[in-house]
Structure 1
Amino acid sequence: MGKYIVRRLLQMIPVIIGTTFIIYAMVFALPGDPTAGKCGERQCPESFVAEYREKYNLDDPLPIQYAKYMGQVVQGDFGTNQYGVEVREDLAKRFAVTGRLALMAIAVEIVIGISAGILAGIRKGRFVDNLVLVSTLVVISIPIFVIGAVLQYFLGVRLGLFPVTVSSEATTYELLLPAIVLGSLSVAYVARLTRTNLVENLRADYVRTAISKGLSKRRAVGLHALRNSMIPVITFIGFDFGALLGGAIVTEGIFNIQGVGGYIYRGIQVRDGVAVVGAVTALVIIYLFVNLIVDLLYGVLDPRISHD
């Protein structure tokens, strides 16, 4: 397994370089004056423009700019944004909030989604199965901003069960409702994916053989069918964690959460390239490591999968 981990880490290097270069090029190769709007409505002085271009290496060719930037990133320096604040400090605060929000959303989709999928799978064709299929279809059909606004109004404003917005402290209780909203779409997909794979594995020969040899149906489902059914579910959850980290812009906007999604959105609005590239680079690295963990979990769920 050690060789496999080393090999995967080496494979991450060209992926990180390729993805970050594309993002860097998309941000810093955009047409227009990068200092536009930095001095309000009036045009920036030439001295400010020259200092700005020198600070961000804008006079160098794009590959040289990127090489200098990545040299700083390797040393742990993600640069400073246009307000003079280190991007690393901003990301540390915002990742702490968005990371907790994403983990809570993952917990919601694991507990509710997998449980609903198992109930639907072992009761295929019955009321519970039809209820799960219909309810998940309804959730998938509704945009996330509608779900967020509806739950915020009824559970927050009308019933007062949850705070309407999240304070700067971002406590676990304040993040619970946003986590439910953020994970609602994934809950539907996890439930359907679990149900489909469990139904397929329950019809497999190895499950029928195990039951015919005296193994109880509960153990046959839990020990054999369910473990094999979890492999595609774990794959989806691993992919979804990265998507939740970077795609929480709508939910963070609805509940006024100071997270990474809003940070990237505002960076794009004001053309703060260093902030955008730094945040996306951190997301790429986190996403790759999460996928490595998911691949290692395959061997735990299915001993036939070897990482030697």
Structure 2
Amino acid sequence: MFWWLARRLGQMALVLFGVVSLAFLLVYAVPADPAATLAGPNASAETIASIRAQLGLDAPLWEQYLGFIGRLLSGDLGTSYVLRETSVFERIVSALPTTVLVAIGGLIWQIVLGVPAGIYAAYRRGGWVDRTVTFVSLIGLSAPSFWLGLLLIYYFAFSWGLFPLNGLGDPIIWYLVLPTFTLGSGGGAWYARMTRTNMIETLDSPFVRMARAKGMPERTILWRHCFRHVAIPLVTMIGLDFGYFLGGVVIVETVFGLNGIGRLAFDAISNLDTPMIVGTVLFSALFIVVVNFIVDLLYSVIDPRVRLQRA
């Protein structure tokens, strides 16, 4: 396990370095000038040149890259071009709680909506419940997040006044219902289909037929034995989704006016705010690789065979 952990940590470091380097280079590949964007459309060439000198954009690309890597290794993500004298790290940390709340809420909706529906549909396969779950899942997978979010805002917030229109307030859970449901509905549909498929395969396996032949209760077969086999792919998807959500869900945070990391990244891209773009990309990649690492550790807890392979 020691060498496995060392190898995984090394892989995580290489992935983060590659993602950050690629993000930095791709930002400079965009045919636009951040200094001109900050100066405005009516700025003179002298003003733009002065801003470029202040931001250090007049230096060669390799020099800017080495300076960025040096600052990054010392824990400095730089200062935002748009939010002057504002540390990128502090700004991202301040936006993180909103994204965490939305991510947890969306994940809860996915699990609550998808997993029980998939299990019941598999157990009653071929019946009207199975057909209904399959049809609703198809609709959930096909509905774009921005369309669903705007629809929920119009009816449940604007027309009927049941929920707040946007932002966060008190009680905070009331403000999170619509955005988290929007975030989790598509994933819930995917979880239902995946759980149904894996559960059907497990229910048709020989050990289930043997358990039924011995008179084991259906509830015990379903939850203690079958669900354990479905848990590994389910944990994988939950981990991947949670890491993705923590990286910032741009559409949901923008539609509902939430000042999370996704909204921060969207504004940074719109303003060509290079330090903020790279900072949000770094945090997104960090969340994903860390959550994947935790998921790998959970495999050993769920399935002892995985632990034996790594020993």
Aligned 8 A contact 1:97 1:170 in 2: no
The aligned residue for residue 22 of structure 1 is 22
Partner of 1:284: 285
Corresponding position of 2:265: 264
> Letter of the aligned partner of 1:172 in structure 2?
I
Q: Distance in 2 between matches of 1:129 and 1:15?
A: 41
What's the CA shift for 1:27? 0.8
The 2-side partners of 1:114 and 1:90 are apart by 36
User: Does the 8 Å CA contact 2:244/2:287 hold for their aligned counterparts?
Assistant: no
Whether the 8 Å contact between 2:88 and 2:276 is mirrored in structure 1 is yes
AA in 1 matched with 2:246: L
Gaps of 5+ in 1: none
Question: CA, structure 1 residues 251+97, in 2 after alignment: closer, same or farther (shift >3 Å)?
Answer: same
Distance 1:216 1:243 in 2: 39
In structure 1, the residue matched to 2:99 is 98
Give the alignment's TM-score, normalised by structure 2: 0.91
Are 2:88 and 1:87 aligned? yes
State percent identity of aligned pairs: 35
1:6 equivalent to 2:6? Answer: yes
Q: 1:140 corresponds to which residue?
A: 141
CA drift of 1:73 comes to 2.3
RMSD: 1.9
In the other structure, the counterpart of 2:225 is 224
2:290 maps to amino acid: F
User: How far did residue 31 of structure 1 move?
Assistant: 3.3
Which structure's residues are more often helix, by fraction?
A: 2
Cα deviation digits, residues 105-148 of structure 1 (max 9, x gap): 00111122111111111111112111111111111122111111
Q: Is the 8 A contact 1:181 1:251 kept in 2?
A: yes
**Offset at 1:51?**
2.2
The one-letter code of the counterpart of 2:39 is C
Output the TM-score relative to the length of structure 1.
0.92
**Corresponding residue for residue 213 of structure 2:** 212
Which residue number in structure 1 is paired with residue 295 of structure 2?
A: 294
**Deviation for aligned residue 1:169:** 7.2
Amino acid at match of 2:303: D
Change over 3 Å in CA distance of 1:264–1:220 after alignment to 2: same
Is the 1:168–1:258 contact (alpha carbons within 8 Å) kept by the matching residues of 2? no
Query: What SS is found at the alignment partner of 2:22?
Result: helix
The answer to whether residue 35 in structure 2 is matched with residue 35 in structure 1 is: yes
1:160 counterpart SS class: coil
- 1:60-139 matched pairs, under 5 angstroms: 60-62=60-62, 64-82=63-81, 83-139=84-140
Who is 2:156 aligned against?
A: 155
For residue 161 of structure 1, report the CA deviation from its aligned partner.
2.2
TM-aligned CA deviation for residue 74 of structure 1: 2.9
8 A contact 2:37–2:272 mirrored in 1: no
Choose 18-27 or 162-171, whichever is displaced more.
162-171
Whether the aligned pair in 1 keeps the contact of 2:195 and 2:230 (CA below 8 Å) is: yes
User: Could you give the per-residue CA deviations for residues 45-73 of structure 1, whole angstroms, max 9, x where no partner exists?
Assistant: 544332222xx6x51343x4333323322
CA deviation map 1:253-282 (0-9, x unaligned): 221111111111111111110000011001
Unaligned regions of 5+ residues in structure 2, if any?
none
Letter in 1 for 2:162: L
Amino acid at match of 1:122: Y
| Cα displacement (A) at 1:247 | 5.4
Taking the aligned partners of 1:162 and 1:259, their CA distance within structure 2 comes to: 20
